[in-house]
Amino acid sequence: MQQQKMVDHLFRHQYGKMVSILTRIFGLKHLETIEDAVQDTFVTALRTWQNGLPENPEAWLTAAAKNRALDLFRKLSAEQARIPKLDNGPSAIALNELFLESEIADSQLRMIFAACHPELKPQDQIAFALKTISGFSQKEIAASLLLKEETVKKRLVRARKNIIESQLQFEFPAGTDLVPRHNRVLEVLYLIFNEGFHSTQQAFLVREDLCAEAMRLCKMLLQNEHTRTPSTHALFALMCFNLARLNSKIDHNQQVVSLKHQDRSLWDNQLIQVGHFHMSLAVETNTLTAYHYEAAISAEHASAKTWQQTNWPNILHWYEQLNVVQPSPLIALNRAVIYVELKEFETAKVILESVSVSELEQREYLYHGLWAEYHHKKGDKQKALLAIDKALALVTNQAERVYLEGKKAKYTT
């Protein structure tokens, strides 16, 4: 079990590195073979480590990746003539240099921008990047994008096909190509972080490894002069504010603790200050993005010493601005939450009735959960129970199920 956990952890942190390096060597046209090879490397690791982990698992995987590179040259007939050049001499040194940290970062930047290439359909880009950069399974991608697994599978197949047909190159975009692809990259990192911070998987509500991976990739963008933009700073600030509250989100019994009841002494004030620092850099622009507004909302929560001291008018203002630049059913739900909290029930009702429930897909339970809270605060016990039962019938995460069951118990008293 310990070995499996270690491999799972390393998979999250090493998969993207290994795929990116090997793709830089072999090209995007061999990506499917490369992904299979990396998967095989982790299977081999699990089998080899059954009797004990190596002293340095990451170094072991790096060495395995180098060996896999040579194996792939032997497997790919078009590359067979180059095998001797990699076994020794200057080319072997060049291969080793591709595994230096600076080159790994460069390869990963190339990969994530390749995933967001305009030749790929916009809806395919995010799914493909989540798979290629961070090793998401089809199920995890479906949960993150609120899609069916079969839809995700089709998008991945289509993306790989387009890459081959368009003969895409593994390179960093330049000039006017950079901005739109950079925007797509930020969206991918946002989704990765959200899947970690609020997982839709059945067993886990919080997956710190995904949060850390998203922040690592965002830091990588901040370290590059071409991608160190106000939007990148805003996204990183948002991640900092949210991650600062992580330790109080789940109690010692692995149960959900609502923001209202979280122990704020557990919040990471140092991380909050880092968030404020990046937010100050993010606002050095006249163009504010959805990341700016979401970070502003999280900053308001992080700054409130108690739930009662929360500045709801400010938060509502930022949500209204967010709804202008990026309207969505989830944003509508959050706006309705605030109006319920402020006991402005008629406005909350109008917003809830305007939500397209089908667009929420896996998150539909949130809609019914909010209706339950709405009816409870208005004193309609019967409607509150009907709504909470609808939410319970749809929720998949066990921790959230327990949380909703606790709500139901409160409604019955």
Kindly write down the DSSP assignment for every residue of 86-100, as one continuous string. Answer: HHSSHHHHHHHHTTS
Kindly state the DSSP code that residue 200 receives in the 8-state scheme: -
In whole angstroms, what separates CA 236 from the centre of its chain? Answer: 12
The predicted pLDDT at position 104 comes to 74
Cβ atoms of residues 172 and 109 within 8 Å: yes
Locate the domains of the chain by residue range: 1-99
Check: CB of residue 108 under 8 Å from CB of residue 133: yes
Both structure tokens of 284 = 């050095």
Q: What are phi and psi of 96, to 5 degrees?
A: -60, -35
Record the tokens describing residue 327, joined without a space. 């309207």
Sorted by sequence, the CB contacts under 8 Å of residue 11 that are 6+ apart come out as 42, 135
CA-to-CA distance for 294 and 287, rounded, in angstroms?
A: 14
- CA distance linking residue 354 with residue 332, whole number of Å: 8
Beta carbons within 8 Å of 135's beta carbon, 6+ residues apart:
11, 12, 15, 16, 19
Sign of the C-alpha dihedral, residues 69, 70, 71, 77? positive
Longest dimension (CA), the chain: 79
Question: Which tokens is 43 given?
Answer: 């299977």
Q: Contact, 27 vs 170, CB < 8 A?
A: yes
Could you give the count of Cα atoms lying within 13 Å of 373 in the half-sphere of its Cβ? 22
The per-residue pLDDT for 312 is 92
Q: What is the pLDDT along the chain (413 residues), one digit of tens a residue?
A: 556 666 677 776 788 888 888 888 888 888 888 888 888 888 888 788 877 888 888 888 878 877 777 777 676 654 445 444 444 444 444 566 666 677 777 888 889 889 888 888 888 888 888 888 877 788 878 876 767 899 999 999 999 999 988 888 888 888 888 898 899 899 888 988 887 777 655 555 566 777 888 898 899 899 988 999 999 999 999 999 999 998 888 777 777 788 888 999 999 999 999 999 999 999 998 889 999 999 999 999 999 999 999 999 999 999 999 999 999 998 999 999 999 988 999 999 999 999 988 888 888 999 999 999 999 999 999 999 999 999 999 988 787 888 899 899 988 87
Partners of 256 in beta bridges: 250
Q: How far apart are CA 237 and CA 222, in angstroms?
A: 12
Residue 282 · residue 330 · CB < 8 Å: no
Token readout for 381 is: 């016990």
* pTM attached to this predicted model: 0.79
Q: What sections of 49-177 are H helices per DSSP?
A: 57-75, 83-87, 90-97, 101-115, 122-134, 138-145, 149-166
